[in-house]
Chains A and B, each alone.
Chain A
């Protein structure tokens, strides 16, 4: 069975601080996809990134960066110079794939990390 653990329930920082959200996953599959989503109070899950299990390159997108380490089954997310607008709940998720590499719509989510950025 797949499992995603986000050990940090809540994080509180002051604007402009860097913050890292941790994600550890468990799966027996050799091919899988990892996702990060942001959930503002409105409820919508906003897609941030998708990473496949064969691509361990770190990725940077503006103030966001992701560190994928297959050896430790971790997919951590860092926000540099945090802003008040970054305040939200962040979810890490793991996707099953079939033999052809197609990602079914089934995601296993972590419990989420509530990030509060104070001005």
Chain B
């Protein structure tokens, strides 16, 4: 069974640009969530999507957005990039229903903003 797949793995962007990151969840999983990891703030929850609807949201500015498609694949977008957006962005998937869901993570996308 394939795991959570994230693309691209590494990217460098210039301040002011925008970036789109992609995530393919484990087959059958309908919940996809996104996290930002930085040395200073640690791992922080961005948002979660379930059945194409945002179900939960963290405390990030509106520059951070996401969406989920009918096949459960998800994308997150960061507009008007700032230097502080340099981070590892991790996607996670889980079934999203029922009890005791285990949340599995992808390898992440390393974003550097210069």
Which residue numbers of A lie inside 8 Å of B, CB to CB? 33, 35, 37, 42-47, 50, 52, 91, 93, 95-97, 100-112
Contacts and interface: CB of A to CB of B under 8 A. Distances in A.
25 contacts: A35-B102, A35-B103, A43-B108, A43-B110, A44-B105, A45-B92, A52-B100, A102-B97, A102-B98, A102-B99, A103-B100, A104-B31, A105-B31, A105-B33, A105-B56, A105-B92, A105-B94, A106-B33, A106-B45, A107-B33, A107-B35, A107-B43, A107-B45, A107-B103, A109-B44
Nearest to A49: B102
Contacts of A42: 107
Given A105-B93, A107-B35, A107-B43, 8 more contacts: A35-B103, A43-B108, A105-B32, A106-B58, A107-B92, A109-B43, A111-B42, A112-B43
B31 A91 contact: no
A101 B55 CA distance: 15
Give the interface SS of chain A, mostly helix, strand, loop or mixed.
Answer: strand
Contacts of A95: 103
Nearest to A104: B56
Contacts of A33: 100
Contacts of A47: 102-105
A35 B100 CA distance: 11
Among A35, A105, A106, the most chain B Cβ lie within 10 Å of the Cβ of: A105
Give the interface SS of chain B, mostly helix, strand, loop or mixed.
Answer: strand
A106 B88 CA distance: 17
Contacts of B43: 91, 93, 107, 109, 112
A93 B35 CA distance: 13
A106 B48 contact: yes
A43 B39 CA distance: 13
Contacts of A91: 43
B101 interface: yes
